[in-house]
Amino acid sequence: MPKDQGIGASTKRREDVRFLTGTGNYTDDINLHGQLYVHFLRSDVAHGKINSVDTSAASAMDGVVRIFTGADFEGIGGLPCGWQVTDRHGEPMKEPAHPVLAQGKVRHVGDPIAAVVAESVQAARDAAEAIEVDIEELPAAVDMKEAVKDGAPLVHDDIGTNLCYDWGFVEENKAATDEAFANAAHVTTLELKNNRLVANPMEPRVAVGDYNRANDESTLYTTSQNPHVIRLLMGAFVLGIPEHKLRVVAPDVGGGFGTKIFHYAEEAFCTFAARQLARPVKWTSTRSEAFMSDAHGRDHVTKIELALDADNNFTALRTETYANMGAYLSTFAPSVPTWLHGTLMAGNYKTPLIYVNVKAVFTNTVPVDAYRGAGRPEATFQIERVIDKAARELNVDPIALRRQNFITEFPYATPVAVEYDTGDYNATMNTLEEIADLSGFAARRAESEKRGMLRGLGVNCYIEACGIAPSNLVGQLGARAGLYESATVRVNATGGITVMTGSHSHGQGHETAFPQVISEMIGIPEEMVEIKHGDTANTPMGMGTYGSRSLAVGGSAMVRAAEKVINKAKKIAAHLLEAAEADIELKDGTFSVAGTDKSVAWGDVTLAAYVPHNYPLEDIEPGLEETAFYDPSNFTYPSGAYCCEVEVDPDTGKVTIESFAAADDFGNIVNPMIVSGQVHGGIAQGIGQALLENCAYDENGQLLSASYMDYAMPRASDVPFYQVDHSNGTPCTHNPLGVKGCGEAGAIGTPPAVINAIVDALRSGGHDHVYHIDMPASPSRVWAAMQK
């Protein structure tokens, strides 16, 4: 029987009721008394020198309150970068200034030049059109490899280069890796691109700044995955407001996928302007604006080489990657192609020698930062595509080649500095073969061929590192933040519990899943537990939600705080039962004395804590509320095996996803329904990357894909029902729940499965020259590949 409460139950989500009835509270639903509206005038060129910005006519227009330009932000901090990478030569990365409003130059289409604050959105927009901007357009750096050549246009003149850093990992492995290549029986080489994407949560970003002159307090309502991080970055580095005078609220947030982690200029502007004008200031992004101001994702160009011995064992792996940073360093941008990418290059395989080189490049494009998976999809795509190509070159079964090279003993220390605690890659592959019905593929291919279609099968594995992250480790790697999580468990007098978590839900279902854990620990109904998140005023300092960390890190903090609560409650129960504390057991919401029929209910103990008449006041304080900060000792390492079957129309190159199966190891599972949903969403984003989505710039740095008319989002008819399985959980060994995290797996594991399947389909049609197709595998690209 499936459980109906606690860990392992597919509890229906309580937050759904408000979302289904239109009673959610998203940031754009917030309107404050006396509120003003801001419209940003943004650069329509990729690169240019600002000669003048004349706001005089615009300022005189009806409804305009004030127009701000870069000059208003001189002497005020720029947007900070939260991660410093050290390059191959021990030098720190280049870290250019990032002003809130452009100063001197514009550096990408969408760079904000001026901000019009007015009584209505329409008045602000109309006035923005009346601002006279004299910009001398400059040649733009767009292509990364061109941008690092001598004589290329410089995005930032003061740093003298477009190369942010040249990173080698592990530098000490380089010579031995090169030697292994020299001695290899076979080397497979693949050049590929990881296409630039836009995260596109369905809720555009919104910021509302408010200022209370009575107590000198600022409040920012914002669409953020991590309000405490925004409070710290904006308060300490941009505006100089101490945290105790600054409150950041991220209420219901309509999806994030990484792009709502970062601290953006619009947040700082609204907070700043509200203080200047002593009125609330609101900004709501349009979708077109989102395309040119939300941090983008991916955009790597890579050459990967895999060395094998005569028995097809992997002996070495070597890569050279160009990673686009865009025009400025977004909050965590430098970490994505380095520590979230290079450390994953072992994949699921016992390749003994690995060397990764990453050149991060400034270009006149929107900043690039973490998007669902962040570095790990890029790593997985390279590894799994090059293995697939190697199998085809060597004429061996791609699954057998993978199995032969699987890591099978744990813990396993990779040559790229991480230690996998648990996993069973053969188990997930076995499950995949079953749920994807691989044995039936030949018959399905024959049936497709009868209809004149090409059918292909693509299989791959993935591993990722999440549950981000041990603070002391990431500090050594350049992080300028800790990556613990916090929770306060507040037991109320009548026994109900309020959990304040530093974690943040923007679709993941914390309000449902977190109470399942507390319910399991104490033995009370889930309905007795409520989760509060998203407001710095009533939650402990926490780092928020990204990197599949909520349950692994935030859930662990909650468990630690609940353990403290239970320990104290046992002391109270021992007093009430006149027994030794060591003899007290808690089960099903009742404290009992071991081996006796003496017991006291949870609610009687909690009441005693707040009405301490019969209470050990000499030993313990009244009340029942505890806080814990949990800092993980390692990353977690979810893994899995994915399978995609496609049909390709040989006349048009159109690819149809016929089936998709995912077998994941997420460790222990708290809510299987939610976990499956997370995988579904990630798969669709992976299919989107592989077949549809592409953020495109022309050679002048014009953004060509700035609306849903131009950027192809996956729609319901682009995807099938998915087969997902997470029955092979090998529990994480180092967090109290044994959980690994499931939020990003689908986006990481899916793209190579799709491309492997398309290559397989084309080769089955006699196109033996096809080893790779760049993403997105649009009909034109697939058709062109068949014409050679």
Partner 1 sequence: MSKVSMTVNGKAVSGDVKGNTLLVEFLREDLRLTGTHVGCDTSQCGACTIHVNGKSAKACTMFAAEADGADITTVEGMANADGSLSVIQQAFQDHHGLQCGFCTPGMVMTAAALLKENPKPTEAEVRHYLEGNICRCTGYHNIVKAIMAASGQDVSAIAAE
What's the min distance (Å) between Cβ of 528 and partner 1? Answer: 20
- Dump the DSSP string for 714-751: --GGG---EEEE-------SSSTT-B---SSHHHHHHH
Contact indicator for 280, 34 with CB cutoff of 8 Å: yes
Neighbours of 283 (CB within 10 A): 28
**How many angstroms separate the CA atoms of 738 and 495, rounded?**
27
**How many angstroms separate the CA atoms of 303 and 218, rounded?**
49
**How many angstroms separate the CA atoms of 48 and 702, rounded?**
13
Residue (285 or 756) nearer to partner 1, CB: 285
Neighbours of 248 (CB within 10 A): 27
What's the min distance (Å) between Cβ of 126 and partner 1? Answer: 11
How far out from the chain centre does Cα 573 lie?
A: 43
Neighbours of 397 (CB within 10 A): 12
Residue (508 or 606) nearer to partner 1, CB: 508
Neighbours of 390 (CB within 10 A): 23
Residue (254 or 738) nearer to partner 1, CB: 254
What's the min distance (Å) between Cβ of 719 and partner 1? Answer: 6
Residue (138 or 197) nearer to partner 1, CB: 197
Burial of 520 (0-12, 13-18, 19+ CB in 10 A): buried
What's the min distance (Å) between Cβ of 506 and partner 1? Answer: 6
Burial of 309 (0-12, 13-18, 19+ CB in 10 A): middle
**How many angstroms separate the CA atoms of 760 and 646, rounded?**
9
What's the min distance (Å) between Cβ of 3 and partner 1? Answer: 14
Residue (26 or 237) nearer to partner 1, CB: 26
Q: Which of 476, 482, 463, 341 is nearest to 407 (CA)?
A: 463
What's the min distance (Å) between Cβ of 341 and partner 1? Answer: 23
Please tell me what DSSP assigns to residue 692.
I
DSSP-based three-state secondary structure for 515: helix
What's the min distance (Å) between Cβ of 637 and partner 1? Answer: 23
What's the min distance (Å) between Cβ of 510 and partner 1? Answer: 12
Residues near 376 by Cβ (< 8 Å), separated by ≥ 6? 340, 341, 344, 462, 464, 465, 744, 748
Beta pairing class for 300-308 and 314-326: antiparallel
- Torsion angle of the four alpha carbons 225, 226, 227, 232, in this order, in degrees rounded to the nearest 10: -150
**How many angstroms separate the CA atoms of 280 and 211, rounded?**
7
Residue (29 or 768) nearer to partner 1, CB: 29
What's the min distance (Å) between Cβ of 177 and partner 1? Answer: 38
CA 264-551-225 angle, 5° bins: 10
Residue (26 or 410) nearer to partner 1, CB: 26
Residue (530 or 664) nearer to partner 1, CB: 664
Residues that bind partner 1 (CB under 8 A): 10, 12-13, 15-24, 26, 28-29, 31, 122, 200-204, 252-255, 257, 286-288, 506-509, 672-674, 676-677, 680-685, 707-709, 713-717, 719, 721-725, 746
**How many angstroms separate the CA atoms of 780 and 788, rounded?**
13
Residue (11 or 590) nearer to partner 1, CB: 11
Q: Which of 295, 391, 301, 385 is nearest to 337 (CA)?
A: 301
Residue (415 or 672) nearer to partner 1, CB: 672
Tokens describing residue 58: 């615009």
Residue (15 or 424) nearer to partner 1, CB: 15
Tokens describing residue 694: 């592409």
Residue (31 or 51) nearer to partner 1, CB: 31
Residue (158 or 721) nearer to partner 1, CB: 721
What's the min distance (Å) between Cβ of 632 and partner 1? Answer: 25
What's the min distance (Å) between Cβ of 441 and partner 1? Answer: 18
β-bridge partners, 584: 593
Say how many residues make up the chain: 788
What's the min distance (Å) between Cβ of 735 and partner 1? Answer: 24
Residue (626 or 693) nearer to partner 1, CB: 693
Contact indicator for 640, 461 with CB cutoff of 8 Å: yes
What's the min distance (Å) between Cβ of 734 and partner 1? Answer: 28
Residue (56 or 707) nearer to partner 1, CB: 707
Rg (CA), the chain: 27
Burial of 367 (0-12, 13-18, 19+ CB in 10 A): buried
Is residue 469 reached through a cis peptide bond, with omega within 30 degrees of 0 on the bond before it? Answer: yes
What's the min distance (Å) between Cβ of 742 and partner 1? Answer: 13
Residue (349 or 722) nearer to partner 1, CB: 722
What's the min distance (Å) between Cβ of 204 and partner 1? Answer: 7
Residues near 567 by Cβ (< 8 Å), separated by ≥ 6? none
Please tell me what DSSP assigns to residue 13.
P
CA 348-351-353 angle, 5° bins: 135
What's the min distance (Å) between Cβ of 86 and partner 1? Answer: 35
3-state helix/strand/coil string of 228-270: HHHHHHHHHHHHCCCHHHEEEECCECCCCCCCCCCCCHHHHHH
Residue (96 or 743) nearer to partner 1, CB: 743
Residue (250 or 559) nearer to partner 1, CB: 250
Contact indicator for 466, 635 with CB cutoff of 8 Å: yes
What's the min distance (Å) between Cβ of 324 and partner 1? Answer: 22
What's the min distance (Å) between Cβ of 74 and partner 1? Answer: 33
